[in-house]
Structure 1
Amino acid sequence: MARGRESRIEEGRAFFRRLAKEGPWAPVFLITGEESFLRGVAVERLCASVEVNEFNRSVFRGGEAKGEDIVTAASMVPMLGDRRLVVVREVNALAAQDLGQVAAFVEAAAASTLLVLEGETLDGRQKAVQRIQRSPAVERIDFPRLYDREVCQWVARRAKGRGLVLAREVPPWLVEALGTQLGELDRALERIDLYLGAPDHEGRREVTLDLVQEVITETRARSVFELTDALSERDLGRSAVIIDEMLRRQESPIGAVTMIARQFRQLRLALAGRARGLRGRELASWCGCPPFRVQAVERAARAFSEHELEDILLRCAKADGLLKSSRLPDRLHLESLLLQICRPPRQQGS
């Protein structure tokens, strides 16, 4: 039976709590999902939860490893220790035959080996995948992509774990300025943590928006806000200049498209929220944007129809796919997307 998205998110949180309390409770862990940062943290925590020496640790990557090598490493008797640790990153990149060999081991997993299989997604139609997923030896943990509001909540929880008390407007500002990549947000919290140093005499470290804007470079934040404004005004020249600056700073083209899509999803939510009579902070909460940006988002949303916003989001999805698969220069796909967005209204969707 398929698990719902919310239940998978809660299972992910429960996984970290249980692992911290009792260590690994299964011989095989299958770590999947779109949130690569959380997958990485899960693997790190699992590795840290068992004490193994260098003779008993093996790490493989799916695109490079052979199934027989993985099975051989996982089947070995621990040397000068009680446990072996075998990690397979990008397990989804294993060839079908190699995955079948891993599945055979999983079905008779050795109690002395902790096998960690990690990858974004597995094709559930493959028999080897079905065998792995159905094995009683396997604990499956999935980390689905978090929505903007959930990312804000994650930032607040992550900060709390560092002993930071964030002002209410800080998480949405960070998400608006840096995007929804958890790794980028975690690095921002680390910089804030290091900047503040030891807690005050009351044991608290308050983080205000002014402090965050001082510590976190505003270059990218300005680019995000300026690009949103330029695109909402269908200003192709200004949009192209901002994108060019982002690429010169070696920002990811796929990240740029993700950011554009996120901004236009906010505009679509703003149209829907206004139709419901939402204004001010209520509308900001509905859209998932900081209160200080809500007027700009409202203004930008009024420049587009619902149909135009849906069309732009489809074009963003297409550009994302081309950036991941096409051999043409990334800049060409980005410029094509800007041209489509900045066309006069009567040409949208043509």
Structure 2
Amino acid sequence: MNELKKILTSIKKEGYKPVYFLMGEEPYFIDVLCDYITANAVPEEEKSFNQMVVYGKDNSINDIMSQARQYPFMGDRMLVVVKEAQDLVKTIEQFSGYFKSVQPSTVLVFCYKYKTLDKRKELYKTLSKSEFAEVFESNKLKDYQIEGWLKSFVADENLDIEPKATAMLVEFLGNDLSKIANEISKLKIVLKNDRLITADLVEENIGISKEYNNFELINAVANKNEAKAFTIAKYFALNTKNNPLVVTVALFYNFFSRLLQYHGIIYKNTGTNPADIAKQLGISPYGLKDYQTAAKVYPMKKVSQNIAVIREIDLKGKGVNGTLTHDDLLKELLIKTFR
């Protein structure tokens, strides 16, 4: 994330500002910035007396401001980190008063997760304009941005990753950036002197089957490979806990909805650049080939019919119009998709 890197670069080159207000829906980027400041703002030998971590639910704004205004003991800087600062939502506006007498020798960090300040109110305006403060808004990544972020994270770790391994991790771990980062860290330990994260490595160490997963199922459907699709479905029926029907149905819906959109894009713009098409679909360029292939075997009318089938299976999976097993529902979904 560019804004995160910009702040880290500023700290390294210009030093710390007295206040960092980290807020937003994505906790991972907040944790990355907070962890960096916690690790580096105060020397290790001073942390026991010049570093303090407090929690929003246990402290008032006045308590936090009083702590921040203290002078460091036997050192140049004090660090005060406010975890779960979102619990101060009802009184957080009172923090504006701190800027009447900012303590320059204190670095005060607010981790205000899952929320953002009201940008119409005084505190946000004060923080945004003050030379003593840095405001960081951590936004959730879009689904189509996850693969790009993962590749960038892997590169920052001085590693490489196969496209299939990337797709497996994203499909299995979703948009939980903390989990993805943790799994990459584990794989880095396993790799030792090697640099390439392969599908085999992901399968062996994270427990994701490289042959029997939703990524491969969608690929089989896109290529109209019925034998492969039904083999994966059989595996899913024997491992329903790790392969819930609701997830598979949702992925089918996403795939055919995007395929319908792909047909529309191609119909209107026959010369559209593949990278632009991928961006419009909200997928990575690597994933575009499945849509290019599927468009040849599923005309627009069939795609619309399949979307209706997916909705029907979704209702049946929720107990509407009778109760069928996971195996029966997935088989019905595949049969009606292919026919």
TM-score range, shorter chain: 0.5 to 0.7
Q: Note the C-alpha offset of 1:41.
A: 0.4
Aligned to 2:63: 69
Equivalent residue in structure 2 for 1:160, among 145, 155, 163? 155
8 Å CA contact 1:178–1:220 kept in 2: the answer is no
8 Å CA contact 1:152–1:175 kept in 2: the answer is yes
Structure index of larger Rg: 2
8 Å CA contact 2:34–2:111 kept in 1: the answer is yes
Q: 1:221 to 1:114 in 2, by over 3 A?
A: farther
TM-score (norm 1): 0.64
Provide Cα deviations, 1:106-153, integer angstroms capped at 9, x if missing partner. Answer: 342101100112223122233334333333311122222223443222
What SS does the corresponding residue of 1:85 show, helix, strand or coil? strand
Provide Cα deviations, 1:242-298, integer angstroms capped at 9, x if missing partner. Answer: 79x77x67x9x9x9999799667755654545545599x869945425547547976
**Farther off after superposition, 167-176 or 263-272:** 263-272
Equivalent residue in structure 2 for 1:185, among 180, 184, 208? 180
Provide Cα deviations, 1:19-78, integer angstroms capped at 9, x if missing partner. Answer: 344442x11111123221111101101112211422222223333321121112111121
1:116 counterpart = 2:106: no
Measure, in 1, the Cα distance between the counterparts of 2:7 and 2:177: 18
1:38 counterpart = 2:29: yes
- Equivalent positions of 1:87-102 (< 5 A) are 87-96=81-90, 98-102=91-95
**Amino acid aligned to 2:109:** V
- Equivalent positions of 1:277-296 (< 5 A) are 285-286=278-279, 287=281, 288=283, 291=287, 294=291
**Amino acid aligned to 2:18:** P
**Farther off after superposition, 86-95 or 190-199:** 86-95
- Equivalent positions of 1:237-316 (< 5 A) are 266=258, 269-275=261-267, 276=269, 285-286=278-279, 287=281, 288=283, 291=287, 294=291, 305=304
Aligned to 2:140: 145
8 Å CA contact 2:54–2:82 kept in 1: the answer is yes
Residue ranges of structure 1 left out of the alignment (5+ in a row): 1-8, 200-204, 233-238, 313-333, 345-350
**Amino acid aligned to 2:36:** R
Aligned to 1:330: none
- Equivalent positions of 1:11-30 (< 5 A) are 11-24=3-16, 26-30=17-21
Q: Note the C-alpha offset of 1:95.
A: 4.0
8 Å CA contact 2:26–2:140 kept in 1: the answer is yes
Equivalent residue in structure 1 for 2:193, among 183, 192, 198? 198
Equivalent residue in structure 2 for 1:84, among 68, 78, 81? 78
Equivalent residue in structure 1 for 2:41, among 50, 65, 74? 50
Provide Cα deviations, 1:313-344, integer angstroms capped at 9, x if missing partner. Answer: xxxxxxxxxxxxxxxxxxxxx9599x9xx9x9
Q: 1:224 to 1:192 in 2, by over 3 A?
A: same
**Amino acid aligned to 1:19:** I
8 Å CA contact 1:283–1:294 kept in 2: the answer is no
Measure, in 2, the Cα distance between the counterparts of 1:185 and 1:30: 25
Measure, in 2, the Cα distance between the counterparts of 1:67 and 1:158: 36
**Amino acid aligned to 2:76:** D
Measure, in 2, the Cα distance between the counterparts of 1:122 and 1:29: 13
8 Å CA contact 2:52–2:80 kept in 1: the answer is yes
Measure, in 2, the Cα distance between the counterparts of 1:185 and 1:228: 22
Report how many residues are paired.
293
Aligned to 1:175: 170
Measure, in 2, the Cα distance between the counterparts of 1:227 and 1:35: 30
**What's the % identity of the aligned pairs?**
23
Measure, in 2, the Cα distance between the counterparts of 1:300 and 1:50: 58
Residue ranges of structure 2 left out of the alignment (5+ in a row): 223-232, 312-316, 323-329, 334-339
8 Å CA contact 2:24–2:139 kept in 1: the answer is yes
Q: Note the C-alpha offset of 1:92.
A: 3.1
**Farther off after superposition, 213-222 or 190-199:** 213-222
Equivalent residue in structure 2 for 1:213, among 203, 209, 218? 203
8 Å CA contact 2:168–2:208 kept in 1: the answer is no
8 Å CA contact 1:58–1:73 kept in 2: the answer is no
8 Å CA contact 1:228–1:260 kept in 2: the answer is yes
TM-score (norm 2): 0.66
Measure, in 2, the Cα distance between the counterparts of 1:122 and 1:261: 35
